[in-house]
Amino acid sequence: MIYLMSDIHGQYDRYRRMLEEIDLKESDRLYVLGDAIDRGPDSFSILFDLMKRKNVELFLGNHEHMMLTYLDGTDRESWFYGPNGGQVTYRAYQRLDQDEKDRVLDYLKYHTTLVRNLEISGHRFVLSHSSTPFTDEDLFTKDYIGDLYAIQDLVWNMGPDNTYDLEERKAGDRPITFISGHIVSQRFTYRDEIYTKVCDNGYTWIDIDCGCAMGKGRGALACLSIDENGQIGEVRYVK
């Protein structure tokens, strides 16, 4: 089984409860579509748990992007801008020993994904943190080290791959389902549940960020499943 989460935002308790809920097995695959960090109190508990799991793939979100560009000195403002919540993560980072710091940075730089294409029983899925990119090529953060600004539009939902423009795009040879987070789904649903937009041109966008960042008593962490036949199954929520 394939599972997808996004925008955990330091809410380690919800993340652990979701793992128990889905009973993640070694034969399963979990894609975490970015923004594991910031705002919540336990970003590094989440990262260290992700790092030890061979069947988990973390995507670079705009919050991991802000962390990297802050630490390499190219952007000293965005991560600490109030609503972005980077201060709590920075303070926790400073408490890590040097080996832990090195392991975290190596993981974010060299072992995270930007875009992943999945072909499952004739169904095509394109996964990213925040965009709907039309590319058959899987993209990885390691290929942009030294030029992280080149991927800013991709992780911030800007530029030509903006999700809001999906219905205006030319129809392709076959349907594509894009799955991402980043944009809180309540903006469209007014409820703590995923948002699905089915376009006439054959494209579908599923937004799985259900506001986990808001913390206890607000929002939810969502987990979407895809079976071996390419069928989207039950969506689980932890509040």
Could you read off the pLDDT of 74-122 as tens digits, one per residue?
Answer: 898 999 998 899 999 999 999 999 999 999 999 999 999 999 999 999 9
Average pLDDT over residues 24-33: 96
Phi first, then psi, for residue 38 (nearest 5°) are 80, 155
> CB of 182 within 8 A of CB of 208?
no
The dihedral over CA atoms of 6, 140, 115, 181, expressed in degrees to the nearest 10, equals 20
Percentage, residues of the chain above pLDDT 90: 94
pLDDT at position 82 is 87
Q: Into how many domains does the chain fold?
A: 1
Q: List the structure tokens of 133.
A: 């990119």
Task: Map residue 236 onto helix, strand or coil.
Answer: strand
Smallest CA-to-CA distance from 176 within 122, 113, 115 is with 122
The domain that contains 24 carries what CATH number? Answer: 3.60.21.10
Give the type of residue at 15: Y
pLDDT at position 99 is 98
Q: Report the distance separating Cα 34 and Cα 49, nearest Å.
A: 15
Place of tokens 């999906």: 166
Which residues form the domain of 103?
2-238
